[in-house]
Structures are given as C-alpha cells and as structure tokens.
C-alpha cells in the first residue's frame, strides 16, 4: 500500500524515508519567515542604535552584532546563566518588554559616565544608588529607541523597574520574541538581551488572526491528521521459531506459519492494529480486502 501526502501530491512508497524536520516545542514557530525577517531587520537597526548610544555615553568605541531572534519563554530568557545580570522592565503599549544587561556592563557604563576608567569592576557587590540611577537612565534611553530605530514598528517603551530579578514580574510561561545584541569593547564582550511578548510582536507585524472557535480548531486538526502520511503494514500471527531452525535454513526450505490460511491478516498503522483484512489482488498486484474495521464492523 502507499500513502499520499497533500503537500505537492507526493506518493510515498512503503518503507521510504520521509524528509521530516524536527519541531522545537521550546521555541515554537509563531512567526512567518517574512514576518521574522522584517522583525529581525528592525531589531538589528535598534541594536546598531544601542551601540551608537553606548559609544556616545562611555566615550569608548563599541561594536555590536545582533543575533537572529527566537521565540522562548520568559523563564528560559531569564534563566541564570553566565555572569550576573540586571533586568529592566518597561511598558510598551499594553505589554511589558524585558531588557537584560550584564552587571559588568551596567557598572562600566556608570563608571565611564562619571569620568572613571571602568577598568576595575567589582561584581561581588550590587550597584550603588548613583550607579543604578546612571545605568537606569542608559537603559531607558535604549528602550526609548525601540520606536524610532524600528521605524515605528514597535511602540515606545518606558522603564518601570530596573535591578536584579526585576523580570520576575513577568509570567515565566509567557512566550516572547528574544534577541541578543553582542557588544565588543577593548576586547571585553557583553550580551544584551531583549524579550518582546509574542502578542506585541504579532500586533506590530499585523499578524494577529481572529481567535478561532475550539470546535473549528478540532475539526481542522482532525482533517490534518486524516491526510498525514503514515506507515502501513500487514501482520501475520506470530510464529515461534527456534535458533537452530533459523541457522539450518537453506534455499528452498519452507517455514510453516502459525497463521491459518482462512484467518484474516492485521493491518497496522504506525505499529497500531486498525483493520483485519483478507488477501486479494488488484490486477497484477497483491492487495487486501477489508473484512473488519473499527472494532469488528464488517465491510
């Protein structure tokens, strides 16, 4: 038997290897390729503007590189990995965006803004009140650029809190479009992170679809599953055979099967029994005739 895929009308022979792409449920594909390209281009422009602002504030040349965006939960984005970091939470329309800044980066910005070299950075103590105020001003300016740098794609964002653990106000299971902006100055590397809630990104891209009725969603899934390609196989009743019998087999030998000639065979779909059939023919090809289906209904 063969199975048919609706994608391009291709027919897959039994045992053929299908080109299946794995799906990462931790980073679901919620944006189309065109929408993602548009968003990534806008965020790259924002990253360049952030680099320009850091250079102007610290009087130290900073190079930036923006990585492609990805979708992940706030919990994954804020997971404590690498050097200590601070989070700025800002209002952007009806949503919150989170801006993650390494502690060393924030301390360096503050030191340079008051005329210090920023060479000796103490990462074992929290920011002083002055350092925090200066760093807050910088991150506020960075997020304020979201609107202009993205050519109005993203709304203006105003910081409401800044510090270690500030991002805890966000739902850890909420999905967000995240992007990492890598900074390089004097051989020192930093990683600035931005998390934009998926609903905000979809609204900005005009990709918000009307909410579907639960019954409609179930019907669509059922139709999709009905045409999904599966492996189908015929199975005889099991026949125990000893190792000595197998080792002594030669060309022309017969192996009597435990399956009686008048008993139907079982059709398995992906390893699960679904039908009972009798052997038949279709022209010059073997075929099977369904005799029981759905728990024994004759056909």
77 and 156 assigned to the same domain: yes
137 and 280 assigned to the same domain: no
146 and 262 assigned to the same domain: no
- Domain span at residue 166 reads 33-205
pLDDT in tens, 119-173: 766 667 888 899 999 999 999 999 999 999 988 888 889 999 999 888 888 889 8
224 assigned to some structural domain: no
pLDDT in tens, 235-287: 888 888 888 888 888 898 888 888 888 888 888 887 788 888 888 888 888 88
DSSP the chain: --EE-SSTT-EE-TTPPP------TTS---S-HHHHHHHHHHHHHHHHHHHHHHHHHHTS--EEEEPPPEEEEHHHHT---SS-EEEEEEEETTEEEEEEEEHHHHHHHHHHHTT----S---SSPPPHHHHHHHHHHHHHHHHHHHHHTTTSS--EEEEEEETTGGGGS-TT-EEEEEEEEEEETTEEEEEEEEEEHHHHHHHHT-PPPPPPHHHHHHHHHHHHHTS---EEEEPPP----HHHHHT--TT-----SS-TTSPEEEEETTEEEEEEEEEEETTEEEEEEEEETTTEE-
For residue 101, the cross-strand partners are 86
Query: Domain holding 260: CATH number?
Result: 2.30.330.10
pLDDT at residue 6 above 80?
no
pLDDT in tens, 45-102: 999 999 999 999 988 888 889 999 989 999 999 987 778 899 999 998 889 999 999 9
Query: Domain holding 78: CATH number?
Result: 3.40.1550.10
211 assigned to some structural domain: no
54 and 199 assigned to the same domain: yes
User: Which residues are CB-contacts of 120 (< 8 A; sequence separation ≥ 6)?
Assistant: none
92 assigned to some structural domain: yes
Task: Please report which confidence band the pLDDT of residue 25 belongs to, taking 50, 70 and 90 as the band edges.
Answer: low
pLDDT in tens, 189-244: 788 999 999 888 888 887 555 566 788 888 888 888 888 888 888 888 888 888 88
The CA distances from residue 219 to 179, 222, 224, in Å, are 36, 5, 9
């Amino acid at each position: 038997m063969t199975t048919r895929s609706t994608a391009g009308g291709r027919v897959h022979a039994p045992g053929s290897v299908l080109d299946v792409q794995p799906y990462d449920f931790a980073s679901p594909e919620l944006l189309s390729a065109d929408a993602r390209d548009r968003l990534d281009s806008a965020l790259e422009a924002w990253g360049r503007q952030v680099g320009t602002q850091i250079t102007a504030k610290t009087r130290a040349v900073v190079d930036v590189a923006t990585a492609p965006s990805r979708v992940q939960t706030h919990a994954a984005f804020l997971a404590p990995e690498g050097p200590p970091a601070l989070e700025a939470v800002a209002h952007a329309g009806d949503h919150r965006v989170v801006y993650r800044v390494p502690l060393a980066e924030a301390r360096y910005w503050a030191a340079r803004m008051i005329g210090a070299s920023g060479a000796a950075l103490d990462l074992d103590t929290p920011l002083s009140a002055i350092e925090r105020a200066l760093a807050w001003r910088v991150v506020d300016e960075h997020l304020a650029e979201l609107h202009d740098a993205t050519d109005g794609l993203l709304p203006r964002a105003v910081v409401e809190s800044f510090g270690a653990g500030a991002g805890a106000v966000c739902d850890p299971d909420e999905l967000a479009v995240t992007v990492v902006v890598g900074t390089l100055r004097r051989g020192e590397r930093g990683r600035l992170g931005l998390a934009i809630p998926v609903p905000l990104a979809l609204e900005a891209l005009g990709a918000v679809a009307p909410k579907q009725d639960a019954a409609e969603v179930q019907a669509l899934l059922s139709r999709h599953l009905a045409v999904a390609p599966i492996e189908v196989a015929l199975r005889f009743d099991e026949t125990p055979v000893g190792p000595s019998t197998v080792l002594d087999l030669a060309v022309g030998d017969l192996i009597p099967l435990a399956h009686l000639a008048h008993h139907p065979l079982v059709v398995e779909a992906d390893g699960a029994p679904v039908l009972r059939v009798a052997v038949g023919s279709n022209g010059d090809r073997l075929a099977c005739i369904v005799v029981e289906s759905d728990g024994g209904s004759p056909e």
